[in-house]
Chain A
């Protein structure tokens, strides 16, 4: 028998451990390799710059956008629209999902309907939204709401349903009434999952931005992308998409941080 001195599991062990250093190494590679590939592809000039602008062109467009045009304003109005649409949807989806996940009659009443509407494309609602809500800010927020809300309700309900039955029954045998079951057990137990759902649906809300800014907008990142399309400013389209991606990445990290701060018991191990 050979004596293996360094018997640590290898990097490619299924579900194996990974050091913090290696994690960041791989994460950086995952971001840098596509960037280099993009840069290489663009500078090789195999295709016209109109189809594939390089990182340099995109960067100079970002600079131009922020100096000659209103990049900051576009960014903020888009963040405002997405966040408001998402928050509005959360305010309604959280209590509704909690009820669907807690009470069977509510589930039977609302879940099939929600499932049905969920499959309807948000874009198709644009004419209706214009007709009913008008063409001001609220119409953009409405589109983001429609795109986010129905998915969110179902995910919230599922989070509540996933509370372990032993926790529910333990509370019942301690004499908890219906209200206490929902408030002190189901809601508390589901909270970490709910915050994750909020994080994920925030990402979805962003994907509806361009669609929302089709509706009579004259500002915003999505609107800028649409207008760039009209003038064939591919570098601006690239810039807009990348900025949206970065905002998403930052929001995601904020949510993850909030999760650690709000639920320290999940991260504490003996």
Chain B
């Protein structure tokens, strides 16, 4: 009884959730065209947490938006959930940096929005409706939003708004969750809380998450794999497997593995980005000051 289960589980893991081959993206045409992404190869396995990190202009957000189907690639292939990506779809939920909530709907209505879309199309049984309201309540609890259920987005803090956005994205149990610097606009303390929350969601919901950030510490703390990208042209520079247990805790940030990996990745980003010339200039100036 156990054996076939293991086999099927492994088989499921072999098949990646997102598979990208030789993908490129060029903005514009003619001499004004810029290469946003060049020759991207990336696999995201089922139930893995992958973070994309890099300096601005490395195309990490563009890559995420291509997976979401919000931008179109100009070359190569991209397959998500076993289907070629041709546009946005409910199987790839996305959490944006901010301002994505519907301000005219309260928290509970925002979270139920995807249900409303499906109910609209009439593909609902009454059992599913029941399950949906249970699901919404679960997510309200999970995100600590019970007290804010009837509040409107403009009454909530930035952190609370992002909780709603995450709950709304999770509502239809999307196989893939895409996050585009979702905590970029939050203060440091709120971010830490959100990190543990999204970790918990990842373990509980068994999601596959692709998470874009410019914060190396965030990338390591959340990701099982950290994909470092480099600009001009946007490309994958290196991929790191994070040598930490699946379940993270804040004190791991002080562990030697964490610190070493952080140093390595920060250096890598520094070397591959345009920052290098800036840093050399800064060194020269400091030398002149004799400090």
Contacts and interface: CB of A to CB of B under 8 A. Distances in A.
Contact of B117 (A176, A188, A189, A191): A176
Contacts of B165: 170
A37 interface: no
Contacts of B141: none
Interface string B167-185: 0110010000010000000
Nearest to A188: B104
B22 interface: no
Nearest to A263: B104
Interface residues of B, number: 36
B92 A173 contact: yes
Contacts of A188: 102, 104
Q: Main SS of the interface on chain B?
A: loop
B100 to A, nearest CB: 4
A209 to B, nearest CB: 35
Interface stretch (B76-84, B147-155, B276-284): B147-155
A169 B90 contact: no
Contacts, number: 85
B152 A265 contact: yes
B89 A175 contact: yes
A234 B172 CA distance: 70
Interface string B60-96: 0000000011100000000000000000111011101
Contact of A169 (B94, B98, B120): B94
A184 interface: yes
B104 A189 contact: yes
A266 interface: yes
Contacts of B92: 173
A167 interface: yes
Contact of B102 (A169, A172, A173, A189): A189
Contacts of A269: 154-155
A187 to B, nearest CB: 10
B68 A173 contact: yes
B207 interface: no
B246 to A, nearest CB: 27
A184 B117 contact: yes
A contact patch SS = helix
Given A175-B89, A184-B116, A269-B154, A169 B104 contact: no
Interface in B103-158: 103-104, 106, 113-114, 116-118, 120-121, 151-152, 154-156
A164 interface: yes
B99 interface: yes
A172 B88 CA distance: 6
Interface string A158-183: 00000010110111111111001000
B99 A270 contact: no
Contacts of A172: 69-70, 88
Given A173-B68, A184-B117, A166 B152 contact: no
Contacts of A266: 103, 154
Nearest to A170: B100
A173 B155 contact: no
A265 B104 contact: yes
A176 B156 CA distance: 25
B168 to A, nearest CB: 8
Contacts of B168: 170, 174
B103 A189 contact: yes
Nearest to B96: A166
B117 A175 contact: yes
B90 A174 contact: yes
A110 interface: no
Nearest to B121: A177
B96 A268 contact: no
A185 interface: yes
A24 B155 CA distance: 28
A173 B154 contact: no
Given A167-B99, A167-B100, A173-B88, A268 B152 contact: yes
Interface string B249-269: 000000000000000000000
A163 B155 CA distance: 19
Contact of B99 (A164, A173, A191, A263): A164
A270 B151 contact: yes
B70 A174 contact: no
B110 to A, nearest CB: 9
A210 B248 CA distance: 74
B102 A167 contact: yes
A172 B85 CA distance: 14
Interface of B: 68-70, 88-90, 92-94, 96-104, 106, 113-114, 116-118, 120-121, 151-152, 154-156, 165, 168-169, 172, 178
29 contacts: A164-B100, A167-B99, A167-B100, A169-B68, A169-B88, A169-B94, A170-B100, A170-B165, A172-B70, A173-B88, A173-B92, A173-B94, A174-B93, A174-B117, A174-B172, A175-B90, A175-B117, A177-B121, A180-B117, A180-B120, A184-B117, A263-B104, A265-B103, A265-B104, A266-B154, A268-B152, A268-B155, A269-B154, A270-B151
Nearest 7 A/B pairs, CB to CB: A175-B90, A166-B100, A172-B88, A265-B152, A173-B94, A270-B155, A170-B100
